[in-house]
Amino acid sequence: MATISPVRFLDRATPPHIFTLIVLTGLGALSMNIFLPSLPQMTEHFATDYRLMQLSVALYLAVNAALQVLIGPISDRYGRRPVLLWGVGVFLIATLGCLFAPNIEVFLFFRMIQAVVVVGLVLGRAVVRDMYPADQAASQIGYVTMGMAVVPMIGPAIGGVLDQSFGWQANFWLLFGLGLLVLLLTWRDLGETARATSSSFGAQVREYPELLRSRRFWGYCLAAAFASGAFFAYLGGAPYVGSEVFGLSPAAVGFYFGAPALGYFFGNWISGKFSVRAGINAMILWGTIISAGGLIASLLLFLLGFKTALVFFGFMTFVGLGNGMVLPNATSGMLSVRPHLAGTASGLGGAIMVGGGAALSALAGIMLTGGNGAYPLIWIMLVASVLAVLSILYTIRREREVQG
C-alpha cells in the first residue's frame, strides 16, 4: 500500500510530515526523562524519600501503559487527529499542575496525568502503519524514533544544567513551552490517516481477543517489553546510581545518563537503513543479542573491580543500540499481525511493553538501597535482556511453523 496521498508540510488536508511525527514522539520521551537528574533535589524539595519520589517514573509508566489500551481503539474509532490534539492539550494542563503542586501527593497525581502525552508515541506509530506496508513501516518507524532519540539523549543533560541553574521547576516550564509548540504544529500539519470505521468503541475493544490469540503478536510484544524493560529499569535506577553510588552532580548525571540514547540513535539509524533488506526478525534478534552482550561485559568488568561511572554508563550504550534495533521492528511486527487493527495493536502492544517497564522501574527503585552499589540494576537489566532474546527466538520458530 502506497502513501494515502502526497504529504505537504503544514497542510492538514494531507498526512503529516515526518518532522511532526518526530516531535510528537519526542515530547513524550522528553517528558519521561528530562527531570531525572533532579530526582534527588526534588526528594528534598517535597521532604520525602527517594523511593516515593521515584514513583514519578513508575506511576507515570503504569498510567502510560493503561492509557495505551484505550488510545488505540479510540483512535481507530474517532481518528488519529482529534485524539492527538486532546492528548497534548491535557498534557499541558497536567504540566502546570506539576509545577504548582504543594506536596508530593499532588505532584504525583498530576505526574500521572502527564502520561497522556503517550498519544504521540502510540499514534505516531499507527500513523506510519496507516501510510506504509510492514517492512517499509519498520524502516519509517526507525527514522521517526531515531529523531526521537536525539531528544532523550540531550534531555537529561539539559535537565541537569537547568536544575543546577534555576531549580527543578525549570524542566517542567520547558516541557510546557515545548508542548504548546507541538500542539500548534499538530493542529496545523497532521491530516487524518485512519480509515473510516462505523464500529463503536466497544466493538473496537472486543477485537482485542483477535490480537491476544496470536502467538506471533505475543512474541513481538514480549521481545519489545523485555528489551525496553531493561531501559525502563535504567530510568528508575540510574539517577540513584549516578548520585548516590558514584557521587555525581545533577549536571554530570544528566551528561552520563544520555549514554543509552546515543546508542538508541544509531540503533534506529540501522533499523531505518537495513530493516527492509534484512527483515524485522533478524533485526530484532541481533538487537537483543547486542543489548545482552553489553550488560554481560559491564557485569564482568564490575566483578573484576572496574566499578566506575564510565564503565557503568558506557556499556549502557549497547542497551540503547540494541533497543534501537529491536523496538521499531518489533512494533512493526505487532502492527502487521492484524493490519486492520493497527491502532488497537499499537495501543495494546505498547501497554504490555510499558507495563512491564513500569514494574521493572519500580523494582529497580526498591532494590537500589544499602551497600549493593550498581549490581542490582545491572542484574535486573541483564535478566530482562536475556528474556528478550528468548522471546524473539520463539517468535521466529512460530513463524516458521506457520509458514511450514
Burial 234-251 (b: 16+ CB within 10 A, else e): bbbbbbbbbbebbebebb
Residue 177 scores a pLDDT above 70: yes
Per-residue pLDDT at 203: 67
Section 335-340 average pLDDT: 72
Match 501497554 to its residue by C-alpha cell: 351
User: What percent of the chain stands above pLDDT 90?
Assistant: 30
Cβ atoms 129, 4 nearer than 8 A? no
pLDDT of residue 3: 42
Task: Look up residue 77 and give its amino acid.
Answer: R
Q: Which is more confident, 372 or 254?
A: 254
CA dihedral sign of residues 347, 350, 352, 358: negative
- For the segment 105-114, the average pLDDT, to the nearest whole number, is 94
The whole-number pLDDT of residue 295 equals 96
Q: How confident is the model at residue 356 (pLDDT cuts 50, 70, 90)?
A: confident
**pLDDT of 403 strictly over 90:** no
Q: What is the pLDDT of residues 71-82, one digit of tens each?
A: 877 887 788 889
Set of cell numbers at residue 363: 523494582
pLDDT greater than 70 at residue 121: yes
pTM (whole model) above 0.75: no
Over residues 76-94, the mean pLDDT reads 90
Question: Distance (Å, rounded) from C-alpha 204 to C-alpha 197?
Answer: 10
- Specify the pLDDT at position 52: 84
Domains of the chain: 18-190+209-399 (1.20.1250.20)
Say what the pLDDT of residue 394 is: 93
Grid cell locating 35: 527531570
Cite the DSSP H helix spans in 213-308.
215-240, 250-257, 259-278, 280-303
CB 31 within 8 A of CB 114: yes
Of residues 21 and 321, more confidence is placed in: 321
**Which pLDDT belongs to residue 398?**
84
335 within 8 A of 346, measured Cβ to Cβ? yes
- Using pLDDT thresholds of 50, 70 and 90, give the confidence band for residue 189: confident
Nearest to 344 by CA among 72, 66, 67, 69: 72
Top mean pLDDT of 142-156, 195-209, 381-395 is at 381-395
* Over residues 378-385, mean pLDDT: 93
CA distances from 286 to 267, 297, 342, 394 (A): 11, 16, 25, 14
Is the pLDDT assigned to residue 133 strictly greater than 80? Answer: no
Least confident of 2-6, 234-238, 301-305: 2-6
Q: Region 328-356: what's the mean pLDDT?
A: 77
| pLDDT, averaged across the chain | 83
Mean pLDDT across 362-366? 78
Q: Over 60: is that where the pLDDT of 164 sits?
A: yes
Average pLDDT on 121-148 reads 71
pLDDT of residue 2: 40
Predicted local confidence at residue 1, as pLDDT? 41
Give mean pLDDT, residues 311-332. Answer: 91
By mean pLDDT, which of 222-226, 279-283, 328-332 is the weakest? 328-332
Local structure of 279: helix, strand or coil: coil
Q: Is pLDDT of 106 > 80?
A: yes
35 pLDDT higher than 90: no
pLDDT attached to residue 148: 61
